[in-house]
Amino acid sequence: MIACKTLISKGAGPKEGDPHSHGYTLFDTEIAASRVAMGWDAAPFTVPDDIAKAWKSVGRRGARVRKAWEAGLKASAHAAEFTRAISGALPAKAFEAVDAHIATMAQTKPANATRVHSGAALDHLIPSIPEMIGGSADLTGSNNTFVKGMKAFDTPDYAGRYVHYGVREFGMAAAMNGMALHGGVIPYSGTFLAFADYSRAAIRLGALMGAKVIHVMTHDSIGLGEDGPTHQPVEQVASLRAIPNLLVFRPCDAVEAAECWKIALEQTSTPSVMALSRQKTPGVRGSGDQNLSAKGAYELLAAEGGAAAVTIFATGTEVALAVAAREVLQGQGKPTRVVSVPCWELFEQQPAAYRQAVIGTAARRVAVEAGIRQGWDRFIGEDGGFVGMTGFGASAPFERLYKEFGITAEAVVQAAI
């Protein structure tokens, strides 16, 4: 460990050691005193010749090694693959296997947790995209970020593609930013969504720097159950959506989960967050020939029997509740649409005409999401109905929690009336 001890504004005359000098603009006399104290007499914005010469000499030290490395790369059978990965381009057949998986999922519509669906998508992506480097903050079994056959990236063999970061969410997110900025790798890793608060500064910097990083964040609502409100995110999705240049995905089933992975991997300068459930949810998408998630929001089910009287917007596991509520409302003679909203940020990028068509003109608009309302007025207006959370969660099985907090198909129906 190297300990460096100094004083704030060292050498700046009376401002030396003054805590108010943090952010303080030094006057010319104080700047002059600092230069004298440091023995610096060169003109402003000038690098003295002796320093420039020494610096350039250091730079030349690696020339021979660099040229030898470049020659070795040129002669390597992997040169083209290395150059492609460094450029950020994906392999030509990157999505061939996952597209076949999407077609199967659309046909079978399996019920499962979206974290499991995400893991299944990775099963088809990892073998096809060799630059993907996974990991987890000591939650591998819960995050479904490990694909069979992956090896740990660890001493003495650094050929592995999976990093065991330990319980250090911020360090993990920061390390992935560095990996992405270096180029040649696409880092992704997992933790619980509630722990996004630990990662936030690095997530924000990744968005600011345009780092292509994918944050897998599971246990995305009170639906995680018995771990209780300390682990149950209610405001985290809204707070992540507030970060510019960050795509926040909350897929509803196997098809959307795979679609969202494709979108995240196609980004060039935008990080992504995958908010995924612990609990099972029914499959709702019966088609996968178009990546509908790429539009951010889309009409999943149209109204039947006339113009829509109700539009229900939902994300994640709550899309299935919206579908169930629609069935009841249709039976009551109220034509009802269901709109799935897997990614707000992508929806805002769509043409105005598309956004208007998706939001629609129904007299009653309702949103359902197992989180806080913040941001949903964009879709439902100030007078729209919202079924979700207004406080923190509790410790109980997820079925009881959804009932106790009123996040049910019945509650959606009541909000629509």
**Which positions are catalytic?**
169
CA distance 250 to 314: 10
CA distance 15 to 24: 9
Instruction: Give how far Cα 142 sits from Cα of 20, 218, 248, Å.
Output: 47, 8, 20
Q: Work out the widest C-alpha separation in the chain, in whole angstroms.
A: 86
CA distance 299 to 327: 15
CA distance 332 to 348: 33
CA distance 327 to 316: 18
H-only helix segments in 126-268 = 140-143, 169-182, 196-209, 236-241, 254-266
Identity of residue 319: V
Cα–Cα–Cα angle for 91, 102, 164, rounded to 5 degrees: 60
CA distance 173 to 189: 8
Which residue carries 């303080």 as its tokens? 24
State which H helix or E strand residue 324 sits in. Answer: helix 318-331
Q: Say if strands 336-340 and 298-301 run parallel, antiparallel, or are unpaired.
A: antiparallel
